[in-house]
Amino acid sequence: MPHWLVIDLEATTDDGGWPVTEMEIIEIGATLVNRQGRELDYFQRFVRPLRRPLLTPFCRELTHITQANIDTAQPLTEVWPLFERWLGQHQTRLEGWASWGDYDRKQLLQEWQRLQLDSALSRVPHMNLKQRFAKARRLERPLGLNGALQLAGLQFTGQQHRALEDARNTARLLPLVLP
C-alpha cells in the first residue's frame, strides 16, 4: 500500500518575517500516512540553529518552542541523518511527500545545499498541498491551513505552529486531494 509523507518545519524568524535565506530550521515534524490520511509513523526533532542561535521573542511566542528546547538540540547536520535513517524503513512504499505550501520544500533544499546533505526526499515527488487543495475546491486563492481545515469541516487539533501538529493537520487534508 502506498504511503505519503507530510512534513512541516518551524524556523527562526522575527516579526515581519525573514527571507528564507536568513531562516534556519528549528523543528522538523513529519507524519507518514496512508492514502486515507491515517498515521502509520511519525518523526519529530528540535534542531539547534547555528547562524542565529538565540530565538527572537516573536519566534518563541509564535511556535511555543523554548530557548532550552533549542539549546539542548543537535544541529541539522546531526538531526538530518536521523531523519534519513527513519525514512529509510518506509522508502520503498513512499509515493510522495507533501507540505502546506512551498516554503518547507524551499527551506529543505536550501539547507541541504548549504550543509551539503544528501536526501532521499530530493528524489521523491513533492506535492504543494496548499495549491492542490485550492485547485480541488476551485478557490480564487489558497487558504491558510486553519482556513482549509474549516472549509473541509475539520477543526485544527493540537498547538498551531508546532511542526508535528501542523504536519498531522495537513495530512488530514491529503485524502481530499489525492486522485
Sequence-separated contacts (24+) of 55-58 with Cβ below 8 Å: 55/12, 55/26, 56/12, 56/13, 56/14, 56/15, 58/13, 58/14, 58/15
Catalytic residue among 39, 84, 90, 161: 161
- CA 25 – CA 27 distance, rounded (Å): 6
**Known active-site residue 126:** no
Q: Which parts of 26-162 fold into alpha helices (H)? A: 57-63, 67-71, 76-88, 103-115, 129-136, 145-151
Q: Can you say whether residue 16 is alpha, beta or left, with left for phi > 0 and alpha for psi between -120 and 50 degrees?
A: left
Q: Which of 10, 24, 111, 165 is catalytic?
A: 10
Catalytic, 161? Answer yes
* 145: its cell numbers: 491551513
CB count within 10 Å of CB 15 equals 11
**Whole-angstrom distance, CA of residue 76 vs CA of residue 89:** 20
Residue 95 CA from chain centroid, whole number: 17
| Residues tagged active-site | 10, 161
